[in-house]
Structure 1
Amino acid sequence: MLFQKLLKENFQIWDSYLHHDFVKQLENGTLKSENFLFYLKQDYIYLIHYAKCYALLALNANNARELRFAMKFQNYIVEGELELHKSILKLGIDADKLGVKDESLANIAYTRYMLSVGQSGDYLDLLVALSACAIGYGYIGKEIYENIGAKKLENHPYKEWILTYSGEAFQDEIKEFEDFLNSYEKSVSKEKFAKLSEIFYSVVRLEVNFWQHALDLKLEL
């Protein structure tokens, strides 16, 4: 499977993304609220750009199947994840007023990199760039839920976030994403895979940095 090959090729950085200290602190409930709030604000801004990437993915589509996929996932982000973040951020922060001055340099680096992949590469290049966030959050959410269990989650400070990414709806979405990505396996040459692996490594590295900058509370680099 194409995605599993990408994971195997980039196992070390992928593992540091899934098991980052931010994730472990979130899981055990010791993550400070200021760090979680910083992350949520940045992720809200991130998701706006992430949704734009799916618009670019749609523009790069070669057929109706690819177009439907891009439009479906863009809608899922706009109607689902952004609304989740907005509901959590409502405690003293107006999400709609977050602008460019609130955006961290780590956020800018990540989102503009994905947009550049879509502008300079093809549909599959951008699909792989988008996969680290989409599929990674599914893996993280599922693992956290399995580690904690339903009973301990009842009074967990980050219950809403964990239930979103471990929930059936999101898990179904990321399975669809992974299956869709894997459908391109037979068309990927050795040279193409090398390029895709470089893209994947870069975005996972940017995901790791995204967790870290939330721990450090750093808008600058």
Structure 2
Amino acid sequence: MNTTLFENGLYGQLRQQAGSHWQDYISHPFVCQLGRGTLPQAAFRQYLVQDYLFLIHFARAYGLLVSKLDTLPEMRAATASLNAIVAELPLHTAYCAGWGLQEADIIAQPEAPQTMNYTRYVLDIGHRGDALDLLSALLPCVAGYAEIGLGLLRDPTTRLDGNPYGSWIRNYGDSEYLAGVRAAINLLNTVGQQRGAQGRLSELATIFTTATRLESAFWQMGLNAVDARP
């Protein structure tokens, strides 16, 4: 995927409007330490647990999105994303098991405040707004992870061999994941054209930027788990 995809269309406008908040997200210390393989494992385990809980609510948000779309092609595109998230959960569980985290133990964990803040914000936007509002809240996660994955793979300081987080990095630069991201960005652009995005740009940018800030807080949650250890 050419990274210019991230800079074009409505998505590119929203990303640009996020300004320094976007760079804070995709270049967060958590991300940089992932690339170098120096991230404390306790931080990554905390992230893995909360990411599983996050994905459950993210799937609900995509289910809500399907109900807000007008045409079958749009509904199929959103359903494909929903199915990908649901299919990802068992893979996530298997990956977590490699880190000594069992599904029953993960589900038993309480949601961190950062997880609740982020997921409830997205769902609240979805319930109060239309499909375009909800897509604006969803895309920082969906497309942001692709930009992070590609960025790390192309960064000469990234260490893949012997890096315990190497498979995570490769996953978000994988062609299959990137194809889903392209479809999600195309859906945002299509719905934006239908629903007057240019006249709503300020409102949509506020939603997108808020979700971006909540993404940064999610990374920081992992690092805070290390600082909070006795």
TM-score (structure 1 length as normaliser): 0.91
1:114 is aligned to: 122
How far residue 191 of structure 1 moved from its aligned partner, in angstroms, is: 4.0
Once the two structures are superposed, the pairs formed by residues 41-80 of structure 1 within 5 Å of their partners are 41-80=49-88
Distance 1:161 1:214 in 2: 15
2:15 alignment partner AA: L
Once the two structures are superposed, the pairs formed by residues 96-115 of structure 1 within 5 Å of their partners are 96-99=104-107, 101-115=109-123
How far residue 185 of structure 1 moved from its aligned partner, in angstroms, is: 4.1
1:175 is aligned to: 182
Are the equivalent residues in 1 in contact too, given 2:140–2:208 (CA < 8 A)?
Answer: yes
Distance 1:157 1:92 in 2: 14
Are the equivalent residues in 2 in contact too, given 1:26–1:158 (CA < 8 A)?
Answer: yes
Which of 88, 96, 107 aligns to 1:89? It is: 96
Q: What RMSD over aligned residues (CA atoms) do the two structures have, in Å?
A: 2.0
| Structure 2 residues without counterparts, runs of 5 or longer | 1-8
Deviations 1:116-170 (A, max 9, x none): 01100001111111100000000000110111599x4232211111111011111
Q: Give percent identity, aligned residues only.
A: 34
Distance 1:93 1:184 in 2: 39
| Structure 1 residues without counterparts, runs of 5 or longer | none
Which of 207, 221, 224 aligns to 1:199? It is: 207
2:3 is aligned to: none
2:133 is aligned to: 125
TM-score (structure 2 length as normaliser): 0.88
1:134 is aligned to: 142
CA distance 1:181–1:189, shift in 2 (3 Å): closer
Instruction: Count the aligned residue pairs.
Output: 217
Distance 2:64 2:191 in 1: 19
Runs of 4+ with >4 A deviation: none
How far residue 208 of structure 1 moved from its aligned partner, in angstroms, is: 0.6
CA distance 1:189–1:43, shift in 2 (3 Å): closer
2:189 alignment partner AA: N
Are the equivalent residues in 1 in contact too, given 2:25–2:212 (CA < 8 A)?
Answer: yes
